[in-house]
Amino acid sequence: MSSSNIDWVIPNQVNLRIIEVVRSNLGIDKSRIKINIQKYENITSTTTLLCLWDFKDDFGIGQNVLITTFASVFHR
User: What are the CA-CA distances from residue 48 to residues 9, 51, 75, 76 (Å)?
Assistant: 10, 5, 24, 27
Q: How many domains does the chain have?
A: 1
Tens of pLDDT along the chain (76 residues) come to: 788 899 999 988 878 888 898 889 889 999 999 998 888 776 766 788 888 999 999 999 999 999 887 766 666 6
Answer yes or no: is 72 within a domain: no
Parent domain of 46: 3-67
Instruction: Give the CATH number, domain containing residue 18.
Output: 3.40.47.10
Is 76 domain-assigned? no
